[in-house]
């Protein structure tokens, strides 16, 4: 099963839709993030694993592939942490896979599972509204996102 969560990439002040696709499959135990991700996104793997552990969930003893699509669009920043974690939770069956279909998600995870503020809540909210979706973001970003 492939779990999907919508997020955004930032190009200037514009938010461009990005699909986070998470698949768990038999294979060497590892987590790969593909789709033209920068160093902060690649480091997301460690933050997501630690946050899931802190929340009482464990990583599967399988191969986890995270695809950030479209693959040719550069992805920068730590705001991909929360959508990756939620996609992984959906792929594990910890949350219903369709639960997030009506939302755009962004947020950075701390190692203890708390959600930290990120830049770009307003353009993300504008982009979510344009798609007819709600926005899931860190509480601290709520006032900025509310302007949309």
Sequence spans of domains, the chain: 2-145
User: Does an H or E element contain 19, and which?
Assistant: strand 14-25
pLDDT tens across 35-71, in order? 988 888 889 999 999 999 999 998 999 999 999 999 9
Confidence of residue 26 (pLDDT cuts 50, 70, 90): very high
Q: Are 22 and 65 in contact (CB under 8 A)?
A: yes
Query: Which pTM was predicted?
Result: 0.96
Say which DSSP state 101 is in.
T
Q: In this predicted structure, what is the pLDDT of residue 143?
A: 96
pLDDT tens across 70-125, in order? 999 999 999 999 999 999 999 999 999 899 999 999 999 999 999 999 999 999 99
| CATH 3.30.230.10 assigned to 2-145 | yes
Cβ partners under 8 Å of residue 31, min gap 6: 45, 48, 49, 59, 64, 65, 66
Q: In this predicted structure, what is the pLDDT of residue 3?
A: 98
């Amino acid at each position: 099963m492939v779990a999907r969560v919508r997020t955004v990439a930032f190009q200037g002040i514009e938010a461009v839709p990005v699909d986070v696709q998470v698949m768990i499959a038999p294979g060497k135990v590892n987590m790969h993030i593909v789709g033209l991700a920068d160093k902060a996104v690649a480091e997301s793997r460690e933050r997501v694993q630690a946050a899931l552990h802190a929340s009482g969930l464990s990583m599967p003893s399988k191969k986890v592939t995270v695809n950030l699509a479209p693959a040719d669009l550069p992805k920068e920043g730590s705001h991909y942490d929360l959508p990756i974690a939620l996609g992984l939770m959906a792929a594990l069956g910890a949350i219903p896979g369709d639960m997030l279909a009506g939302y755009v998600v962004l947020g950075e995870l701390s190692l203890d599972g708390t959600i930290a503020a990120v830049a770009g809540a307003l353009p993300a909210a504008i982009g979510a509204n344009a798609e007819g979706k709600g926005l899931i973001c860190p509480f601290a970003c709520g006032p900025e996102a509310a302007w949309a």
